[in-house]
Amino acid sequence: MNLTRPLILTSAAAIAMALTGCVAITSSSSSSSSKPAVAGLGCTLTSNCVNSVDSNGLPPLRYTGTNAQGLAALQATLASFPEAQVVRTSDLALEAVFTTSVGFKDEVEFRIHPQGQRIDFRSQSTFGLYDFGKNRSRMQAFATRFAQQTAK
């Protein structure tokens, strides 16, 4: 009896579960943030999520002009990321899904706040407990490209 194949499959499954934390994490619409303008953008876990509303998050995106100009800058910046797909757009919000090269999906939600010409965001993995810094590094790159887009 050949035990090599079952041993390899069991080992691969164990490694996959260890890397993903054995659970699926989905977006949550609730937030512990006391800021009503950014309710729903909090991170359940900071190990697989980054946002612009928590103290350990990134700064919000800034734009000048109208809401429509802020939304247009968001859409133009997203177009520079081939792994991004816009799934919902409204006058003051946009949601996109980024798919990594190995197939993991991260949900990114943007909310435009016209009074402060600010765009808050949350980028969160849809699977696993850890993203190994992928959401943070992506949103840092996004913020850089967004700043370049709005400087035009």
What does each C-alpha distance from 64 to 25, 73, 131, 151 come to in angstroms? 35, 10, 32, 9
Digit-coded pLDDT (tens) for 34-44: 333 466 899 98
Rounded-to-integer distance, Cα 84 and Cα 77, Å:
10
- Report the mean per-residue pLDDT for the chain: 82
Rounded-to-integer distance, Cα 18 and Cα 84, Å:
27
pTM of the model: 0.75
Confidence of residue 72 (pLDDT cuts 50, 70, 90): very high
In this model, does residue 24 exceed pLDDT 80? Answer: no
Report the greatest alpha carbon distance in the chain: 71
Query: Residue 149 is which amino acid?
Result: Q
In this model, does residue 33 exceed pLDDT 70? Answer: no
Query: What does the DSSP 8-state code read for residue 23?
Result: S
